[in-house]
Amino acid sequence: MRLHVIGLGGAGGRIADRLAADHDADPFLAGVNAFDTDMDALGALDALGEERRYRFGDAAGGDGLGGDLHAGRRLGDAHASELGRAMDDQRPSLAEAFLLVVGLGGAAGAGAAPALAEELSRLYDAPVYAFSFLPVPSETEEPDGDEGPTSAAAGNAASGSGTEPATPHRPLAERNAARTLDALSERCAAISPFDNAAWLRPGETLAGARDRLDEAAVERIAALFGAGETSQGASTPQQVLDASDIARVVGGAGEVAAIGHATQDVESTESESRFGLGLFGSSEPAEVDTSAAVSAIETVIRKAARGKNTIDVPEGRADRTLLVVGGPPRWLNREAIADGRRWLAEETGSDAILSGDAPIPDGDAVSAVVVRSGVDEPERLREIRETIA
């Protein structure tokens, strides 16, 4: 599907920039923008040129908002139409869906996201989804006196010192997240929360894990939304996944959607003979052992379902599930995928399961994406919502 990504605030801008760096040439990425009140944060982006970066909110003076969500909301309401116009060069009318990427604990991005979601829904007949980062509990805790600087800038500076960067202190992060979740639920077709805390390793800080977590988020966004789009001349999927399939699974009433993803390296079968020119053997791709293909597909489906998802799903259950299996075409064993789909139906208890495939002729890995929607409220979301109960 043709996806237009808008990164809002510091966290959202980093993801938009990384998507542009890794996938700008991919057909699924129809447009990318980054919006922020912080001039320095926008200036730190590498892949997005100035035409795709936009600072809004002159009242902020070019800086961040210091966690003031009310100020962020006011700026969002005042500048939503302006931000919509700032996207025009990216031809948003061609998009089949919009994805707002935002850190929920902040103010600029979280404040502007609901108003922009409403503006995009008014202008275009395409669903608006949100990919949102949840704050970690330690952000709201008072730092120990010997921890040193805890600002985001200090954390970045410390990253080259050989010590683990400190987690920024944001006392309002969880309350901001709770209020923004409520607002986005009313304005977005679906929300995919990314639970930063669940992804941290023992002893790791949020600042120290930033690159790894950003990479995991980008992998999942690209794997899901890029699954139905193929480059000209590439292999055509046998089960084509399109925008309507994703919409059917994730719903349209602001439900939570969890994304699981896994890969497993396999031997490529698409090259010519191992002698390079096909002179001493067939130039046709080698056949794949059926048992090896079945094992690889079974492994990635189970890892995508039971491994670390964007957010933990209570008991793994869901009303609706989407499965996408990708990799070199000769590894995409149809019977194994069908078996995996049946296993996933039992695992999730889903009454409705959709599936698709994503052939990658020159790929060297088999992958699976599992999306679950219509889930019971995850514990971390409940904890965050209780901060304003």
- pLDDT at position 149 is 43
Question: Average pLDDT, whole number, for the chain?
Answer: 88
Convert the pLDDT of each residue in 279-330 to its tens digit: 444 555 568 899 999 999 999 999 999 999 999 999 999 999 999 999 999 9
Please check whether residue 129 is in contact with residue 192, taking contact to mean a CB–CB distance below 8 angstroms: yes
pLDDT confidence of residue 155:
41
What are the chain's domains? 3-226 (3.40.50.1440), 258-373 (3.30.1330.20)
pLDDT in tens, 184-242: 999 999 999 999 999 999 999 999 999 999 999 999 999 999 986 665 555 566 777 88
Average the pLDDT over 336-347 and give the result: 95
pLDDT band per the 50, 70, 90 thresholds, residue 101 = very high
Starting at the edge strand found earlier in the chain, the sheet holding 255-265 runs: 53-55, 29-36, 3-8, 97-103, 128-134, 190-195, 255-265, 365-373, 320-327, 352-359
A 10 A CB-CB count for 59 gives 12
Q: What is the pLDDT of residues 134-186, one digit of tens each?
A: 999 988 887 665 444 444 433 443 444 456 666 778 889 999 999 999 999 99
Enter the DSSP assignment of 284: S
Q: How far apart are CA 20 and CA 33, in angstroms?
A: 9
Q: Are 183 and 123 in contact (CB under 8 A)?
A: no
> How many angstroms separate the first and last alpha carbons of the chain?
38
| Other CB atoms within 10 A of residue 323 CB | 28
CA–CA distance, 322 with 301 (Å, rounded to integer): 11
pTM given for the model? 0.89
Q: Does residue 368 sit in helix, strand or coil? A: strand
User: So what's the pLDDT on residue 66?
Assistant: 83
Write out the H or E segment, with its range, that includes residue 334.
helix 334-348
